[in-house]
Amino acid sequence: MADLVSWTRPATHDDLAVMLLGAREANAESNWDLTWNQDYAEHYLTALIDSPHTDAIVIEVEGVMRPVIAGAAFVAASYEFHDEPLCYVCKFWILPAYRRGDLSTKLTQATIDWAYDHGCSHIFTTATAGLDRVQQSLFVRLMKRHGFDDVGPVMQRTLG
């Protein structure tokens, strides 16, 4: 796929319906076999948009009739024990139809810029979406190309 005309921006309440569709598709791609809950998803996205310390950064592409949201990164500045917040990339997704171009690179750079703009000292992200091996590897390679390093394992235990 050729590179598309694209841009990033913080999500607004007007984006909720489209973001919910994208989040639902991302959830379905995971192998965690979790039940989708529309109300929880809407509450979560609304809180991201409303908080001064979090954002849902969307990446849009030119569409036939209007711009299309092709992906998003959910970021949070966490004021834990330090003067400088830590940035956590809570979710990161590009819809499958848009993965063969530079959108993931642009969205990654937008998260890095967001962290700088919010005075963060570090950015943390994990490849814990439960995707297939190829998609997980592509995410890890993307982050490493942008200067992310391994700093320890992520451990998981299934309950229930």
Domain ranges of the chain: 6-145
- For residues 8 and 107, give the distance between their C-alpha atoms in angstroms, rounded to a whole number: 7
pTM: 0.89
Query: Of 118, 50, 55, 52, which Cα lies nearest the Cα of 85?
Result: 118
Res 67: pLDDT: 86
- For residues 30 and 139, give the distance between their C-alpha atoms in angstroms, rounded to a whole number: 14
pLDDT per residue as tens, the chain (160 positions): 556 778 999 999 999 999 999 888 888 888 778 899 999 999 999 999 999 999 999 999 988 788 889 999 999 999 989 899 999 999 999 988 898 889 999 999 999 999 999 999 999 998 877 778 888 888 889 999 999 999 988 777 778 7
Fold classification of 6-145 (topology level): Aminopeptidase (3.40.630)
